Structure 1
Amino acid sequence: MKLGLLLGAALAPLAFAGAVCAQDATPAGEYGGEPVQIEDVIVNGEIVFRNRTTDDNPVLSYDLEYFQRFEPVSVGEMLKRVPGVTFTSDVLEFDGVSMRGLPPGYTSILINGRRAPGGEDDGAFFVDRIPAELVERIEIIRSPRADQPSDGVAGAINIVLKEGAQLEGGSVRAGALINEDGEVRGAGSLTWAGNTENTSLWAALNYQGRRNPKQKRSERYDDDPANGGELDNIELQDDTRDGVDMSANAEFTTRFDNGRLRFNGLVIDTDRDEDETSVTYVDDGSGSFTEIDGVEIQQERISQQTYALGMDGAFDVGPGELDFKLGWTGFRDDTTATTFEGDNFQDPDLALVEDEETLEITDDELDFGGAYTLQTGNVEVKFGADFLNKQRDGVGAEGVDYAIEENRFEPYVRVSGEIGATVRFDAGLRYESSEREVTGDLGTVESDASDFFPSAHLTWSPTQADQFRASYARTQRRPNFSYLAPIFQDEEPADEDGLRGNPLLESEKANGFDVGYERRIGTRGIFGVNVFYREIEDLIEVVDTGLEVNEDGETPAPGDDVFNLFEPRNIGDGTTWGIEFDFSSPLDVIGLPDTGLFFNYTWMDSEVTDPWTGDKRPFRNQPQNVYNVGFIHTVNSWDMSFGASIYGRDEGYESGMDELVKVEYDQDLEAFIEKRFGDRVVVRLSAMNLLDKEKRETFWKYDGDSVEEILDNRANGDIDEFELESERSGVLYQVTLRAAF
């Protein structure tokens, strides 16, 4: 049944195949060459490096072949090998992207150039749900043009899906993921691409089993051990995530004498079980922590679906080109969580702690856009507009129940061209006008907003190998959905306080600057360096309004419980800056043309005023550096290749009202070896987390009945609890067979 729904939604574009005859290009540009035979992509001993792009704005482009030897399961595993990207998830989890160290909500995730609605409160899309098998290339957009969305203060990641105009032929994949404890999960895919003189077609099905068994250990003290704190208890936890992702996508294009037309569809279905079993031990009286003090079992059942249907076209009309797009994207989340507690596993009273918690999210976006481009000499003028209707309903824990409807109208103009033989420029202006209606327990609130988003990019190429770039763009980050909802939550953020949503919140805005240099090395290699700076205004922080309310968020009457009212507001400013290096090239200069070296390193820092303490600190969990280095070597005489890659980042800090958390990760080493059989079959063994990396979190926790009391205790260093938490998952092996037909 579910497979039928997947096929029906994703292959909907193929219904047009009998009525029209379809297209060529990729979302980032027109494809002008012959289709590549799929066996040349799947069974290929040639090492692939970062693409050399000609975009007017700073974009890094990586084809799937750059990543595929290491057999990434999803886009998340792919992104840990590109500059400036890090994750703050658990071990072997690569979901919310932190680009340039900023929280995931500051990074815009696009699929084929269109926004991808996500399930997170900050709108972040979890990229671990998109199978790597469906991807043609990854584009890192450091600074947007006027004809691209203004979302993404840290930058944007465009996930370009495969299409028929690029490929010819079919492929099949069969694989198995093997955890260190011997548990196995299967994987498989089937793809096909075909072309005629004026049409192209792509279709793919993908099945991916995934399991991540983690072991956690928490040691809790009554104070920092450095100050003489004593161990209070030890908690051991087994946390296993076990699930299946099924996906399908299709693309059909037709070419006419004066243009082309394209239809595409995508469906991703995720079913995942998360089971946590925790046992707490206390001192048995002899100094040994072996006495069970309690057990807890948490069961979470997650069902998520992502849908996308779209069409776009480009036609010669008059002296210029008219292009248009129409699309719908949808996200569904139905998650239930249940918790049981007892004195021990044999406790007959081991029972449900509280009512089952349910999270339900429905998010739909309908977008339409059109543009007209005129070429006059060395100057190109493009003007157009995008329209988006967004409807999101959320039902969750803690009384967060809301409905949001938003309409956006975004006209823009962009001018690009050449100055002499070595300089290109691109300048534009995007205007956004939005109307929003938010409904919650406290009623319905309507608001509107508008702003300008200018951009300018300059490229100087003094030689064919050297390129200097300078860019400016104004971007934005939209408010968390729960912050917008007109609802009231008592005992938040502390026992004597209440938190009320603010439907009049505005987006955070940023002025961003990028200056870079790129050097082409030989025929395939490339080196790049880029300096970035972001000045962010209207940061959203939760603040004390100075008002008192009752449990309904209203003016208290005699006898009512009284709460201090807190509310999110646009009050802060922040800055972040850094430098990014990346290098990928064959080692021809030392006589090793069949060895490729890959390296990237990003140093970053930031400054923001903590809304609770008033201290200056970096953005939440921003590391000061993140890096990746690896190699691939091909032995042509044996039709074999092997390689390794190591990824790492330094520590980051998360500062909340009642706690400070230090987060550390060990290095992550992965490797592969492959054997090619003829020109159509390859067998590959890969392994992740070969160093069995550990994630460590150190918590300094503070307590009190009110925010004021908690902050006083924090200022005086009066710790309520000190905790050391560590987590491991073990090595993950993968065996894969790929064949072309």
Structure 2
Amino acid sequence: MFSKYKLLLSGAFLLPAIVSPAYAAPVPVAPAPDAAPEAAAGSDVSAADIIVNAAIAFRNRTQDTNPVLSYDLDYFQRFEPVSVGEMLKRVPGVTFSADVLEYDGAQMRGLPPGFTNILINGRRAPGGEADRSFFVDRVPAELVERIEIVRSPTADHSSEGVAGTLNIITKDSAAFQGGFIKGGMLINEDGKVRPSGAAAYATEIGSASSFWGALNYQERRNPKKKVSDRYDGDLLFNNREIQNDTRDGSDLSANAEFATEFEGGGKLRLRGLYIDTDRDENEVSTTYVLANGDPADLGQLYKPGQSELAIDNEDDEGIETQHENIDQQTYQIAFDSEWPIGPGALGLEAAWNGYREDIATTVQVGPALDALELDERTFLNTKDDEYQGTVYYKYKGDALTLKLGVDLLDKKRDGSLLEEGEEDEPVAGALYAIKERRYDPYARLTYEPSAQLSVDAGLRYEITRRNVRTNVDGEVGLTASSKYDTEMLNPSFAVRYAPTEVDQFRASIARTVRRPDYDLIAPYRQEEEPNDDNILIGNPLLKNQSAWGVDVGYERRFGGQGILGINFFYRDISDLIDLVDTGVEDAESGLDIVTPMNVGDGKAWGVEIDFSTPLTAIGLPDTGIFANYTYLDSETTDPFTGEKRRFNNQPHHVYNFGFIQTVRSIDASFGATISGRSKALESNFDETIELSYDPDLELFVEKRIGKNFVLRGSVQNLLDRYKKEDFNKWDGDSVQEILDNRASGNLDEFEREREHSGPLFQLTVRAAF
């Protein structure tokens, strides 16, 4: 099996070298301009240019003073990503720690997802995660015009995003004219098929207005198989769990835009976005033990054959099933306008972002699939509304631009996690309501004396007023409440210097923040959590985590399209939040108090390199290569052990490289990309987890039919990559006892878990009109 995949991999990457000379030489190619125009919004492109296009797309060049990378849809589209998550795995410094074929919580620079700020059209996207992150796999790739990676912010944008900001720009009429329709199907290795379809249209209305509308529907299925071998503290075999985990669902999404300009220079735009996700997740887990024999006779870390095992029905619970019905909706309605007043322009913006989530989970156990009994049923509900507003005045002179403004936010988040039969007597913290208001005045000054030099400096003063309410144990009323106010001044400074037409240097420094997790700031009291002799108490007075960040980069252009970029980054992070065993006895319960606190500092640093170019210099203009590599490192002090370690789940290395080959004589293209990451470690007080993945190989081939049609086939996970996790677990009746066992090496359990899903094939046909 391994040799077959090695052969496929080698052949995929040798193919362009074999076929390129045969097809590239006869094709006349126009000379490349000295410098291609910078990426700019508002340039009309026909649908056929985007959908049916032989040209190879590379990373955009931007003239932003602060470090921003921009990738248009056509950089990703040939590999037919289903979601934004599948797009992001191809850009520098972004990785995931999710299951195979799932790309949900984006980790910029390897830091946990909560350190990355996710925007949709420049507006925060509320999500269902307690760490304030947004699962990017919910946004269909069909909606996207481009992805922006903002490595360091300016004063007129939120200071959130210690690791950086990912801005998802949806398609609009300014960058797209005409229409397209798409039909396709996703095919799993077991032959199951899921359909997809999309349609969009953009047109001008008169001479000053334009309209865009799009509708997308897709179904997705991910059948995963997981095997977990568990050993006792002496590393003798205990049991094996075999799990079939199938996620099956659909996404319905739509977006629309209307834009118009007025005489005298005023302009106005209305945008709307809707995403509905409906998923079913079914897990069937069977636990096996040795049918005969003594584990001590087999030696340490013995891996038995399946024929040596029998279902563990000692408690008639050898089989467990879990069904999750997940229903999620994301809404966005946004308005922005700009009006010339006096020597400058007045900007007015407003938006509503909504998120709804309902998850029903049913767990059944029994000795056989036809003898299952209900074990537990829970219901999770989240309702999140954010109302945003912006007022600014911008003056632009010959070399100076001054922007003064204020961003306003009114947020309300209600949530609950209830168990069937206990709705009237929920545990503490099961119900909560969070209100958060922000008032963020800012000033931004940009100085651009020439095309070679630009300097940007700004101040942003973020004022936050937060009120949190929750329930006490056994009551449904939100009677426990707490308020917290905070203010923070966040400066930013960036400089761009372009000594030649092909060279560009950037440097920036900015202060950024990460706000506390929702589930840590509610003032709840949960007895016997996280262990029997502890009481877990929420902390509504948690401060924002903050960071001073520096980015220094260089960019080199090659001819009309090629580009090489290198960026060094450093983050000095303060007031990190973690659970702490205070060692203090609670007067009411007599249990030791465990609570989240701002307890530590940390730092993260690394190097990001990206490269993409056609091979015109060696006579292969229809061969494009692209690559990126990121080296990551960090240091923080573990709040429980006092040891120095990296941030949880941060790999040292993240990479992606590949090629695209156009064969003009048959009007076709093909390509491949391989991506991967090094292993990472997650440390919690009661366990450590070593995480690694096999590389991921993707291929595509497409045939253009006339000027308006393209037929494309693609495959993900061709190497059938495995996710590998090794767990070391310690036990005890209290956090302190667990830490004592950990320090003395008294291991309770070792677990080795392996998961895979199989290749995913996709066929699509697109038509432009």
Task: Give the letter for the 1:437 counterpart.
Answer: N
Which residue is 2:702 aligned to? 674
Using the alignment, how far apart are the partners of 1:490 and 1:546 within structure 2? 15
Deviation sequence 1:138-193 (CA, Å, 0-9, x none): 00000000011100000000000111122111110000000000000000001000
Which residue is 1:290 aligned to? 309
Which residue is 1:15 aligned to? none
Using the alignment, how far apart are the partners of 1:32 and 1:362 within structure 2? 35
Q: Give 1:96 deviation, angstroms.
A: 0.4
Using the alignment, how far apart are the partners of 1:515 and 1:321 within structure 2? 32
Aligned partners of 1:621 and 1:653 also within 8 Å: yes
Q: Give 1:32 deviation, angstroms.
A: 4.9
Which residue is 2:685 aligned to? 657
Q: Give 1:385 deviation, angstroms.
A: 0.5
Which residue is 1:719 aligned to? 747
Q: Give 1:547 deviation, angstroms.
A: 2.8
SS of the residue 2:207 aligns to: coil
Q: Give 1:493 deviation, angstroms.
A: 1.8
Q: Give 1:290 deviation, angstroms.
A: 2.1
SS of the residue 2:56 aligns to: coil
Pick closer, same or farther for the CA change 1:469–1:84 going to 2, 3 Å: same
Query: Counterparts in 2 of 1:336-735, with a 5 A limit?
Result: 336-347=360-371, 350-354=372-376, 356-396=377-417, 399-419=429-449, 422-442=452-472, 443-549=480-586, 555-556=587-588, 562-735=590-763
Which residue is 1:240 aligned to? 246
Q: Give 1:566 deviation, angstroms.
A: 1.1
Using the alignment, how far apart are the partners of 1:164 and 1:466 within structure 2? 33
**Is residue 203 from structure 1 mapped to residue 203 from structure 2 by the alignment?**
no
**Is residue 259 from structure 1 mapped to residue 266 from structure 2 by the alignment?**
yes
Aligned partners of 1:38 and 1:171 also within 8 Å: yes
Q: Give 1:508 deviation, angstroms.
A: 0.2
Using the alignment, how far apart are the partners of 2:271 and 2:446 within structure 1? 29
Q: Give 1:420 deviation, angstroms.
A: 5.2
Which residue is 1:22 aligned to? none
Aligned partners of 1:584 and 1:596 also within 8 Å: yes
**Is residue 220 from structure 1 mapped to residue 230 from structure 2 by the alignment?**
yes
Task: Give the letter for the 1:198 counterpart.
Answer: A
Query: Counterparts in 2 of 1:86-105, with a 5 A limit?
Result: 86-105=95-114
TM-score (norm 2): 0.89
**Is residue 182 from structure 1 mapped to residue 191 from structure 2 by the alignment?**
yes
Using the alignment, how far apart are the partners of 1:29 and 1:535 within structure 2? 32
TM-score (norm 1): 0.93
Pick closer, same or farther for the CA change 1:289–1:486 going to 2, 3 Å: farther
Query: Counterparts in 2 of 1:76-87, with a 5 A limit?
Result: 76-87=85-96
Task: Give the letter for the 1:416 counterpart.
Answer: T
Task: Give the letter for the 1:530 counterpart.
Answer: N
SS of the residue 1:69 aligns to: helix
Aligned partners of 2:42 and 2:175 also within 8 Å: no
Deviation sequence 1:66-99 (CA, Å, 0-9, x none): 0000000010000000000000000000010000
Using the alignment, how far apart are the partners of 1:329 and 1:436 within structure 2? 19
**Is residue 281 from structure 1 mapped to residue 309 from structure 2 by the alignment?**
no
Using the alignment, how far apart are the partners of 2:450 and 2:116 within structure 1? 35
Deviation sequence 1:633-675 (CA, Å, 0-9, x none): 0001101000000010000011001000000100000010000
Which residue is 2:340 aligned to? 316
Q: Give 1:418 deviation, angstroms.
A: 2.1
Task: Give the letter for the 1:524 counterpart.
Answer: Q
Q: Give 1:344 deviation, angstroms.
A: 2.7
State the identity %.
55
Aligned partners of 1:38 and 1:169 also within 8 Å: yes
**Is residue 64 from structure 1 mapped to residue 94 from structure 2 by the alignment?**
no
SS of the residue 2:369 aligns to: coil
Q: Give 1:343 deviation, angstroms.
A: 2.2
Task: Give the letter for the 2:619 counterpart.
Answer: G
Structure 2: gaps of 5 or more residues:
1-37, 295-306, 313-317, 419-426, 473-479
Q: Give 1:377 deviation, angstroms.
A: 2.8
Q: Give 1:124 deviation, angstroms.
A: 0.5
Using the alignment, how far apart are the partners of 2:492 and 2:403 within structure 1? 14
Task: Give the letter for the 2:88 counterpart.
Answer: L
Task: Give the letter for the 1:261 counterpart.
Answer: L
Aligned partners of 2:413 and 2:433 also within 8 Å: yes
Aligned partners of 2:555 and 2:563 also within 8 Å: yes
Q: Give 1:256 deviation, angstroms.
A: 1.0
Using the alignment, how far apart are the partners of 1:264 and 1:30 within structure 2? 19
SS of the residue 1:215 aligns to: strand
Task: Give the letter for the 1:592 counterpart.
Answer: L
Deviates more, 1:397-406 or 1:571-580: 397-406
Using the alignment, how far apart are the partners of 2:751 and 2:513 within structure 1? 36
Deviates more, 1:165-174 or 1:204-213: 165-174
Pick closer, same or farther for the CA change 1:60–1:421 going to 2, 3 Å: closer
Aligned partners of 1:640 and 1:676 also within 8 Å: yes
Q: Give 1:390 deviation, angstroms.
A: 0.4
Deviates more, 1:411-420 or 1:721-730: 411-420
Deviation sequence 1:702-729 (CA, Å, 0-9, x none): 0001111100110111110000000000
Using the alignment, how far apart are the partners of 1:418 and 1:178 within structure 2? 52
Query: Counterparts in 2 of 1:24-39, with a 5 A limit?
Result: 31-33=41-43, 35-39=44-48
Deviation sequence 1:89-134 (CA, Å, 0-9, x none): 0000001000000000000000010111011000110000111101
Aligned partners of 1:371 and 1:384 also within 8 Å: yes
Using the alignment, how far apart are the partners of 1:357 and 1:286 within structure 2? 40
**Is residue 138 from structure 1 mapped to residue 147 from structure 2 by the alignment?**
yes
Structure 1: gaps of 5 or more residues:
1-27, 550-554
Deviation sequence 1:239-267 (CA, Å, 0-9, x none): 00000000011000011121210001000
Aligned partners of 2:39 and 2:61 also within 8 Å: no
Using the alignment, how far apart are the partners of 1:694 and 1:490 within structure 2? 39
Aligned partners of 2:99 and 2:723 also within 8 Å: yes
Aligned partners of 2:609 and 2:629 also within 8 Å: yes
SS of the residue 1:425 aligns to: strand
CA-based RMSD: 1.3
SS of the residue 1:78 aligns to: helix
Q: Give 1:328 deviation, angstroms.
A: 0.1
Which residue is 2:13 aligned to? none
Using the alignment, how far apart are the partners of 1:475 and 1:286 within structure 2? 59
Using the alignment, how far apart are the partners of 1:29 and 1:41 within structure 2? 15
Pick closer, same or farther for the CA change 1:329–1:70 going to 2, 3 Å: same
Aligned partners of 1:292 and 1:344 also within 8 Å: no
Q: Give 1:446 deviation, angstroms.
A: 1.3
Any runs of at least 4 consecutive aligned residues in structure 1 with deviations exceeding 6 A, and if so which? none
Aligned partners of 2:278 and 2:328 also within 8 Å: yes
Aligned partners of 2:126 and 2:384 also within 8 Å: yes
Aligned partners of 1:233 and 1:289 also within 8 Å: no
Deviation sequence 1:488-523 (CA, Å, 0-9, x none): 122222121111111111110000000000001110
Using the alignment, how far apart are the partners of 1:421 and 1:270 within structure 2? 46
Q: What count of residue pairs does the alignment treat as equivalent?
A: 697
**Is residue 272 from structure 1 mapped to residue 279 from structure 2 by the alignment?**
yes
